[in-house]
Structure 1
Amino acid sequence: MKLRKSGRTLLATATTLGLGLGLTSCSPSNTVDYVYVTASKANPGQISVYRADSESGALTQIQDSPYPSGGRNPVGAVTSPDGKYLYVINKDDNSIVQFAIGTDGKLYPQQTCNTPGSAPVALAINKSETLLYIVDFYSPTTPGGPVYSSANPGPGALVAYTVDKSSGKIGGGNCTPVQQTFVDTNNVTQTATYVPVGFSPTGVNALANGNSVFVSAQDALPSATSTLGEVDAFDVDSNGVLSAVTKYPTGTTPSAIASDPTNRFLYVTDSRQNQLITYTILSTGILNPSQNPPIKTDTFPVAITVDPRGTYIYVANYNSADVTAYAINQSTGTPSSVAGASSYATGAGPSCVIVEPALGRFIYTANFIDNTVTGFQLNPNTGALTSNQNSPYLAAGQPTCAAAIPHGNHSTQSVSATAGS
């Protein structure tokens, strides 16, 4: 089964929820993170919520878990950088649902928005928590224009929403996207609630510095015979206005996208050729392809994450049911397999992979086929993984993706550097 999920979720820092919700924390003192796993089998979809143990990384579902996702077929999730909010996209309802996160990890639905296009497949939030990006699989239908579907494919759409930091509300509280201007294929300037991207988009990545946004798409040309994928690069201003930089041919079937926390390197997985492609990011937002050839992954890579220190890359390979691990050359960004075993078995059909943000020591995959979450402990000195206590953990049916927030006084792991030039 081909999954088009956001291979990348942004990790967040911790804070407590406002007293207006009347919440108190009752979680054990050894909880280091809360982990949220979306699942698509039920209608509406579900979100399993877990406490992550600070010593072992073991996951335990909290009381009342799972929660409804607010729509059908949730395929992606991201937490706000202050740890207060969770945003979930429901593909079959064209919706984004905002949840408030209690100090005990519980979820409280706040707002539901419909995207301008249809079938949202990926989302990201900027580090300053002011802009939320959604990628629709099909762009909106223009007056008198075609209605896009699997029978009549069309370009995808990148949508930017402002986010109110005090409430987490989307689009000024009324779901209004940022107005964008672009030149269409007929060389006519258009004003709309989105900018078009390639056909069959799969992922979106917002740089930590907030200056650039990248979208991976599986068809670079509007042709069923196209064999090239692409990365669409955009500059973004503080108001969420996007400016196209350029399009980059990228493998044959780009499936997931992620950047390192120093804004220097961008990584794209190719699920057809089973490879990991590297770019250097210039300070202008322009991408330079690596001088080295792509690195092999295992079979059908669909998700990717970079650890919070910017040292290692982890790729979830759907068909081979494993995670492959790579060390990042800090000068060139080139990945290489970590010492020892380079792949680590997961449950069947891993569709998402994250590193928890509090310590950066535990990794989790959402396994679509066997309805589990696999946990690993990350050795920060080598990048090698070992299985967590009692892993795998049961999840709601057909888990699709995951996000996490730190708990208590744990601070997010991070690095600081300027973009390449």
Structure 2
Amino acid sequence: MGYGFLKAARARSVCVSAALTLSACGGTSSSATDTTQSSSANDAYAVGGTVTGLVTGTQITLLNNGTDALTVSANGTFSFPTKIAADGAYAATIDTQPTGQTCTVSNGSGTIGAVNVTGITIACTRLAFAYVVNQSTGNGVSQYTIGSDGSLSPMATPSVDTDGAAAIAITPSGKYAYVSSGQSILPFTIGSDGSLSPMNPASIAIGDIVRGIAIAPSGQYAYVADETSGSVLQYTIGTNGALSPMSPASVPAGNTPFSVTADPTGNYVYVINGSGDTVSEYAVDRSSGALSLVGTAATDHAPTSMGIDPSGKYAYVATQSGVIDQYLIGSGGALSPMTPATVAAGPDSIGLVVDPSGQYVYVADNNQGSVWQYTVSGNGALTSMSPASVGGGAGLDSSSVAMDPSGQYVYGVNEGPATISQYALGSAGALSSLSTPTVSTGNVPSLMATTYAATQ
């Protein structure tokens, strides 16, 4: 790199484009960097580093020495527009955080030597939130932020009143949440800080008792179990989060439908029928979201909840019969029992979650107040870990289990003491309690949902 080029660079604004898309105040572009450059004290040197963890489609604005601005819109190397002479100081800071994320600076300041600076690190992590529905009046949904260590912290407004709640579902975008409460569906927007705000209208009257809610992976459709009529209500979700009934507005289910699960591929929906010991199987019309009944699968007595692995090949149903039912998902969505058809569990399994990697399954047991833990084999069958369960204790009455969006932490909802047990996943999926093992929640908690903050 010649002295004439460097002199010209000092006379104009330069935008640098390296392994990612960068924008600043205009000017020409140059490539980032000769890290071995050594020249006279009159030469100037680039200041830059690496960005990691930035979500695709978002951007972060950086400053050097408080003024030299650079906008980064992808992970990789970066370099500030203005070079600095030898012995000059540099100090990288964050001017504008990316939407839904928090970024930090490491090795951000120092004095220029006779080489380009390339060691600044900008590490970004996504914000995450958790919500617990409580069946008591006055604190219907408890709201939490999820820390980098997995711990839950109540938001500034710790709960929103829903006059009791049964279930909650959140769109994949992290923008909208829907709560079933008695004979109504309550739609909410999710703020940048994770707080829930009622939409307008704040309630959709159903007239029947509604229970479980599931959102399609596309975020375009919602399905609600109507316990009274024995049906599944189906809605389209507008760009503003508003629910609109499909035509037809409902499809038949079995006796006492109360839990709805959408498979990760978006092709199928499953509804647990509590009184009939069955699962209703539906195919999804991908163009409209409408459901069509494929058939029903038998379960062991008193099924409670269902989980599906990320590949959409395997399904698991928790029951209050001391077993987990295991199924293969056929090409048309029909469930067929694995061999073996069941795996031992707690005597009153009432909540189940599959981790995002598809390697582990966790089940809450209401009778023991514990969380049972399993590994998933190559054919989808579950194998108990050692120990088979963690936590537990008289009066805990665990009602459900959930995972954080990253798949690194597990939460057990304890109805008896109104607490949430907090666990971290070990290298083989085994759970261990966090340093703060429990946090308080509202009265009679039942279900929990987590989400990343919206980034768009």
Quickly name the TM-score band, shorter chain normalised: 0.7 to 0.9
Shift of 1:14: 11
The answer for the alignment partner of 2:130 in structure 1 is: 35
Distance in 2, Cα, partners of 1:117 & 1:85: 23
Q: Structure 1: which 4+ aligned runs deviate by more than 3 Å? A: 13-16, 24-32, 111-117
Shift of 1:28: 10
Report if aligned partners of 1:14, 1:406 keep a CA contact under 8 Å in 2: no
Report if aligned partners of 1:27, 1:104 keep a CA contact under 8 Å in 2: no
Query: Which stretch of structure 1 is more off in the superposition, 99-108 or 115-124?
Result: 115-124
The answer for the alignment partner of 2:171 in structure 1 is: 80
Question: Does 2:267 correspond to 1:211?
Answer: yes
The answer for the alignment partner of 1:240 in structure 2 is: 289
The answer to which structure has the higher strand fraction is 2
TM-align CA RMSD? 2.4
The AA in structure 2 aligned to 1:292 is: P
The answer for the alignment partner of 1:59 in structure 2 is: 152
**Alignment match of 1:253 (pick from 302, 315, 335):** 302
Distance in 1, Cα, partners of 2:56 & 2:235: 23
Report if aligned partners of 2:189, 2:198 keep a CA contact under 8 Å in 1: yes
1:98/1:397 Cα in 2 relative to 1: closer, same or farther (>3 Å)? same
1:14/1:270 Cα in 2 relative to 1: closer, same or farther (>3 Å)? farther
1:77-133 CA-to-partner distances (Å, cap 9, x unmatched) read: 11110011111111x2x1111111111111111144436462111010011001001
The AA in structure 1 aligned to 2:291 is: L
Shift of 1:202: 3.1
**Alignment match of 2:333 (pick from 281, 285, 304):** 285
Report if aligned partners of 1:14, 1:84 keep a CA contact under 8 Å in 2: no
1:247-289 CA-to-partner distances (Å, cap 9, x unmatched) read: 1121121111111111101111111x11100111112112221
Report if aligned partners of 1:39, 1:73 keep a CA contact under 8 Å in 2: yes
Report if aligned partners of 2:421, 2:439 keep a CA contact under 8 Å in 1: yes
Question: Does 2:231 correspond to 1:103?
Answer: no
The AA in structure 1 aligned to 2:133 is: T
1:116-158 CA-to-partner distances (Å, cap 9, x unmatched) read: 462111010011001001001111xxxxxxxxxxxxxxxx211
Alignment of 1:332-371 (within 5 A): 332-338=379-385, 340-346=386-392, 348-357=396-405, 359-371=406-418
Shift of 1:336: 0.7
The AA in structure 1 aligned to 2:317 is: V
Report if aligned partners of 1:15, 1:82 keep a CA contact under 8 Å in 2: no
Higher Rg = 2
**Alignment match of 1:161 (pick from 235, 239, 254):** 235
Distance in 2, Cα, partners of 1:75 & 1:345: 24
Distance in 2, Cα, partners of 1:202 & 1:391: 30
Alignment of 1:62-211 (within 5 A): 62-69=155-162, 72-90=163-181, 92=182, 94-110=183-199, 111-114=201-204, 116=206, 118-139=208-229, 156-164=230-238, 166-171=239-244, 177-180=245-248, 193-211=249-267
1:9-35 CA-to-partner distances (Å, cap 9, x unmatched) read: xxxx9999xxxxxxx989897874211
Question: Does 2:377 correspond to 1:329?
Answer: yes
Q: TM-score, normalised by structure 1?
A: 0.75
1:356-412 CA-to-partner distances (Å, cap 9, x unmatched) read: 11x210111221111111110012x31100001212101111111111112488xxx
The AA in structure 2 aligned to 1:100 is: T
The AA in structure 2 aligned to 1:137 is: E
Distance in 1, Cα, partners of 2:207 & 2:312: 29
1:313/1:131 Cα in 2 relative to 1: closer, same or farther (>3 Å)? same
1:346/1:364 Cα in 2 relative to 1: closer, same or farther (>3 Å)? farther
Shift of 1:216: 1.0
Question: Gaps (5+ residues) in structure 1?
Answer: 1-12, 17-23, 140-155, 172-176, 181-192, 221-228, 410-421
The alignment partner of 1:342 has SS state of strand
**Alignment match of 2:318 (pick from 269, 272, 275):** 269
Distance in 2, Cα, partners of 1:14 & 1:103: 18
Query: Which stretch of structure 1 is more off in the superposition, 366-375 or 122-131?
Result: 366-375
The AA in structure 2 aligned to 1:49 is: Q
Distance in 1, Cα, partners of 2:412 & 2:305: 14
Shift of 1:159: 0.9
Q: TM-score, normalised by structure 2?
A: 0.70
Shift of 1:346: 4.8
Query: Which stretch of structure 1 is more off in the superposition, 111-120 or 257-266?
Result: 111-120
Distance in 1, Cα, partners of 2:297 & 2:175: 35
**Alignment match of 2:357 (pick from 306, 309, 314):** 309
Shift of 1:42: 2.1
Shift of 1:299: 2.3
The answer for the alignment partner of 1:149 in structure 2 is: none
Q: Say how many residue pairs are matched.
A: 338
The answer for the alignment partner of 2:347 in structure 1 is: 299
Distance in 1, Cα, partners of 2:102 & 2:311: 33
1:286/1:31 Cα in 2 relative to 1: closer, same or farther (>3 Å)? closer
1:259/1:389 Cα in 2 relative to 1: closer, same or farther (>3 Å)? same
1:375/1:216 Cα in 2 relative to 1: closer, same or farther (>3 Å)? same
The sequence identity of aligned pairs, in percent, is 28
1:25-64 CA-to-partner distances (Å, cap 9, x unmatched) read: 8989787421111112224x4211112111x211111111
Question: Does 2:433 correspond to 1:384?
Answer: no
Where relative contact order (Cα < 8 A, 6+ residues apart) is larger, the structure is: 1
Report if aligned partners of 1:14, 1:83 keep a CA contact under 8 Å in 2: no
The answer for the alignment partner of 1:148 in structure 2 is: none
Report if aligned partners of 2:268, 2:282 keep a CA contact under 8 Å in 1: yes
The answer for the alignment partner of 2:23 in structure 1 is: none
